[in-house]
Amino acid sequence: MSDSKNDNQFDVVVIGAGFAGMYMLHKLRATGLKVIVLEAGSDVGGTWYWNRYPGARCDVPSMEYSYSFSSELQQDWDWSEVMAGQPEILKYAEHVADRFTLRKDIKFDTRVKSAHYEEAHQNWLIHTEDGTSYESRYCIMATGCLSVTNTPEIPGAENFDGPIYHTGQWPHEGVDFSDVSVGIIGTGSSGIQAIPVVAEQAKHLTIFQRTPNYTMPAYNKPLTSEFREKARANYDQIRADQRASLAGIVSYGFGFGGADLVEPTDTLKNTTPEERAKLVEEQGFGAFRTFLDVGLDPDANEMACEMYRQHLATIIEDPKTAEGLMPRNYPIGCKRPVIDTDYYQTFNRDNVTLVDLRQGGIQQVTSTGVATDQGHYEVDALIYATGFDAMTGALERIDIKGKNGKSIKEEWHAGPRTYLGLQIHGFPNMFTITGPGSPSVLSNMMVSIEQHVDWIADCIGHLEDNQVRAIEPEEQAVNDWILHVNEVAKGSMFTAPSCNSWYLGANIPGKPRIFMPYVGGVGEYRNRCDEIVAEGYSGFTLSK
User: Does residue 152 bind ligand N01 (CB under 6 A)?
Assistant: yes
Instruction: State which of residues 12, 33, 102, 185 lies at the interface with ligand N01 (CB under 6 A).
Output: 185
Stretch 299-338: interaction string toward ligand N01, x if CB under 6 A: -------------------------------------x--
Decide: helix, strand or coil at residue 207.
strand
Q: Among residues 58 and 478, whose Cβ is nearest to ligand N01?
A: 58
Instruction: State which of residues 18, 54, 61, 191 lies at the interface with ligand N01 (CB under 6 A).
Output: 191
Q: Among residues 62 and 418, whose Cβ is nearest to ligand N01?
A: 62
Q: Among residues 186 and 473, whose Cβ is nearest to ligand N01?
A: 186
Instruction: State which of residues 127, 210, 349, 397 lies at the interface with ligand N01 (CB under 6 A).
Output: 210
Backbone φ and ψ for 467, nearest 5 degrees, come out as 50, 40
CA distance 308 to 463: 53
Instruction: State which of residues 77, 344, 502, 525 lies at the interface with ligand N01 (CB under 6 A).
Output: 502
CA distance 90 to 341: 21
User: Does residue 206 bind ligand N01 (CB under 6 A)?
Assistant: no
User: Does residue 195 bind ligand N01 (CB under 6 A)?
Assistant: no
User: Does residue 62 bind ligand N01 (CB under 6 A)?
Assistant: no
Cβ at position 455, least distance to ligand N01 in Å? 23
Which residues have a Cβ under 8 Å from the Cβ of 277 and sit 6 or more positions away? Answer: 310
CA distance 91 to 195: 24
Instruction: State which of residues 128, 147, 193, 440 lies at the interface with ligand N01 (CB under 6 A).
Output: 193
Backbone φ and ψ for 255, nearest 5 degrees, come out as -85, -165
Instruction: State which of residues 39, 59, 380, 411 lies at the interface with ligand N01 (CB under 6 A).
Output: 59
Cβ at position 417, least distance to ligand N01 in Å? 23
CA distance 62 to 232: 12
Q: Among residues 164 and 533, whose Cβ is nearest to ligand N01?
A: 164
Q: Among residues 44 and 84, whose Cβ is nearest to ligand N01?
A: 84
CA angle, 436 then 441 then 443, to 5°: 120
User: Does residue 444 bind ligand N01 (CB under 6 A)?
Assistant: no
Cβ at position 194, least distance to ligand N01 in Å? 9
Cβ at position 387, least distance to ligand N01 in Å? 3
CA distance 136 to 52: 33
Region 377-416 residues binding ligand N01, contact defined as CB under 6 A: 385-388
Q: Among residues 190 and 451, whose Cβ is nearest to ligand N01?
A: 190
CB atoms within 10 A of CB 119: 13
Q: Quick one: which H or E segment has residue 352?
A: strand 352-356
Do 432 and 395 meet the contact criterion of CB atoms below 8 Å apart? Answer: yes
CB atoms within 10 A of CB 159: 11
CA distance 61 to 227: 12
Query: Nearest residue by C-beta to ligand N01?
Result: 188
62-85 residues labelled b (16+ CB within 10 A) or e (exposed): bbbbbbbbeeebbeebebebbbbb
Which residues have a Cβ under 8 Å from the Cβ of 254 and sit 6 or more positions away? Answer: 61, 82, 219, 260, 261
Q: Which stretch binds ligand N01 (CB under 6 A): 70-78, 183-191, 255-263, 420-428?
A: 183-191
Do 110 and 128 meet the contact criterion of CB atoms below 8 Å apart? Answer: yes
User: Does residue 187 bind ligand N01 (CB under 6 A)?
Assistant: yes
Do 408 and 395 meet the contact criterion of CB atoms below 8 Å apart? Answer: yes
Site residues for ligand N01 per CB under 6 A? 57-59, 146, 152, 167, 185-191, 193, 208, 210-211, 336, 362, 385-388, 441, 502, 507
